[in-house]
Amino acid sequence: MAGENVLHFDDSNFEAEVLNSETPVLVDFWAEWCAPCHMLTPVLGELSDDYANKLKVGKVDVDKARKTAMQFGIQNIPTVILFDKGKSVDSFVGVRRKGDYEAAINATLGID
């Protein structure tokens, strides 16, 4: 099934799963009530499949992980942040084309 590699992060596991990750992590900050956020779900699933074993892809529900959302100054959703070695290296506010995410991921992974 597409997207079965998409992980779920919250206040209790964000540091371990994202900030301390050995591999880059693409994180979608979203909420259940956010219609544009749901439009992004299939794209995240495709990215998680396309970059399996090279990149983690996960979601943070801002209503359930308020501390993490505040820590990264999330004011609009969806907001997608690409982390590498615990640092934010790129971010996107709103729904974007899959190619926009791929370009950022490829640059981080050193793929031409």
Identified catalytic residue from 26, 37, 43, 77: 37
What span, in angstroms and rounded, lies between the C-alpha atoms of 93 and 3? 21
Identified catalytic residue from 7, 34, 95, 107: 34
Is 37 assigned a catalytic role?
yes
Long-range residue pairs from 65-70, CB within 8 A, at least 24 positions apart, any chain: 65/9, 65/10, 65/11, 65/14, 66/11, 67/11, 68/9, 68/10, 68/11, 68/14, 69/29
Is 34 assigned a catalytic role?
yes
Active site members: 34, 37
